[in-house]
Every structure is written in structure tokens, then in C-alpha cells.
Amino acid sequence: MEDERKVAAELGERVREKRESLGLTLDDINKKTKIRKAFLEAIEEGNLKILSGIIYVKGFIKTYLKAINAEGLYSEYEKLLNSLAAERENKNLEKMVDYMPPQKRFRKPSRWWIYSALLILLVASGFMVWQEREQIRMKSKLVLEQKNSSTAKSVTPVADIASSDDMVVSKSVNAEEASLPQEIETEQVEPNVEVVEKKQDRQKDPVKQEKLLTMKFDGPCWIRITKGEKVIFQGTLKKGQKKDVLVDIPVNIRYGNAGAVQNLWNGELKEKIGQKGEVVTYEYLPDGTMRRM
């Protein structure tokens, strides 16, 4: 401890001599380094403990030494400051240990109160059952009497069973007689040949009957289909997809990439509607005609 103070005082004396040899005062150093005059005096007197924070002390000393061209003394100051920092840490640790409260030993929690609560619960339940013993006995007696009375009502006399069986047999005989098959003359109706032929024609060529427009896509294309005043579809279709539209009334279709679309009317290929990247709108009529809008 004394050695550190002696080293700090000797270094401070050398710093003061260097400053005076340059003809500088502490006020001059204060203006040049912006370090408080009290801190500069503490450095020259070797009283480094009044300076709070080792990092700040190192910065003050380095700045002061640079101002008087004595930076070679910093290595000796650094050893001294590291020693003071270690001393302060040890003291802080000792104080912390002194202030720490004594550690309590771990005690296993007692469960006697759980057993006590269970015992009290059992005693209370038994007491309540003992108080209600007469009512419990009367209720069980009433239940037994009700069971006996219901069993007696469910037994029917043998004579009643016999008469009921006779009624069932007679009813079943009457039902069998009523369900005997009777001969009914039926007239065979020949099918309507004209209706059958129309149905067969519709099955042979359903596409032409439905006036179907099929759009095949060679690339991505945004379309909007308007039927009357209602938009029935709007979106982007990709390469390889197709879209069918029933043209029973005028239909308007707007294409965002007309060159990527092939139109087929009832399976027959129509002419191209535009070039790639071209935005066009067409009107399609039920008779198969199409008109660019």
C-alpha cells in the first residue's frame, strides 16, 4: 500500500517537473485538455484515489502526459493503476461477503397439515351421514316398495294373454286373405319414338346443342368474362389450361395477352384474336359469330 503511494507521488513529481520545464501552468493544461484543475493537482500529488473510475483516470493521465510530451511515463502509470484496480475489487468483494445474509438450510416441507385436513373431512362426512340416517332408511324403504308394486303390475293373467293371442291370429289371417294376388288386365304402352330419337340426337352432338366456346392457353393470360351485365369469371390462366363458356346469350371477353389464346367454337378452331401482349375485347353471339369491340 505504502509502496503504491510512493510510486504515485514520484510519478506525479516527475510530471510536475516536466510541466514546469515547458513553462506551463495548471491553468494552461486545463485549457488545453479540458481536465478539471483539481484532477490535474491530484495527478501531480500522487493522490489517484480521489479520481473515480480507473478507466477515466487512465484517460486523464494519458491526455495530461500527451499535453506535456511525457507519454513515456504512461507505462509506469498503467502498472500502478492496474494494481489499484485489483486492490479495489478485492475490497468490494470482501464488503459484499460481509453484507451477505447467512444461508438457511433446506428443510423438507412437512405434510402433517394435509393429513390433518383429510382426517377432519372424514370425521365431518361421517357425522353428516349419522345425522341423516333416519331419512336415508325411509328413502330406501320407499324405493323398495315402488319396485315391488311395479313388478306386480307387470304380471298379466293367463286368460288375457290367450285372448290377445287369438286376436293376433285372426288379424293375421284376414291380412293374408286381403293380400292374395288378383288378376288385373294391363295395357302395354308403346314408347314415343319421336322423343327417343330427339334424345339420341342430343347425345350424339351435345356440344353443338350447348353453343360452347373453348379457350386454350399457350401462355399466361388474364381474362374477364362478362355475361349480360354480370362478370362470371376474372383471373389469370396459365399455359396448358383451358376455359369453357356457354354462349346462350351475348358474351364479352377481355384478354390481357391475346396471342396466347386459341378459340374453339363447338370444337372447331377459330381465327386468331390478336398478338402476344395485346389487350383486346371480343363479343361472342349464340350463332357463333365474334366481333372485336
Q: Read off the pLDDT of residues 77-110 as tens digits, 9 standing for 90 and up.
A: 888 888 877 777 776 655 554 545 555 555 666 7
Query: What does the pLDDT look like over 245-276, one tens digit per residue?
Result: 999 999 999 999 999 999 998 888 888 888 98
CA–CA separation, 12 and 32 (whole Å)? 19
More reliable by pLDDT, 111 or 292: 292
- Out of 89-103, 135-149, 243-257, 279-293, least confident range: 89-103
Name the average pLDDT for the chain. 77
CA–CA separation, 42 and 16 (whole Å)? 11
Query: What does the pLDDT look like over 34-48, one tens digit per residue?
Result: 999 988 998 898 887
Over range 166-170, report the average pLDDT.
Answer: 42
In this structure, which CATH number among 3.30.429.10, 1.10.520.10, 3.30.540.10, 1.10.260.40 belongs to the domain 2-98? Answer: 1.10.260.40
Name, in order, each residue with C-beta under 8 angstroms of 283's C-beta and a sequence gap of 6 or more. 250, 251, 252, 290, 291, 293
Over range 140-167, report the average pLDDT.
Answer: 60
Ranges of CATH 1.10.260.40 domains, the chain? 2-98
292, three cell numbers: 372485336
- Kindly give the interhelix angle for 26-33 and 54-67, rounded to the nearest 10 degrees: 110
CA–CA separation, 192 and 200 (whole Å)? 13
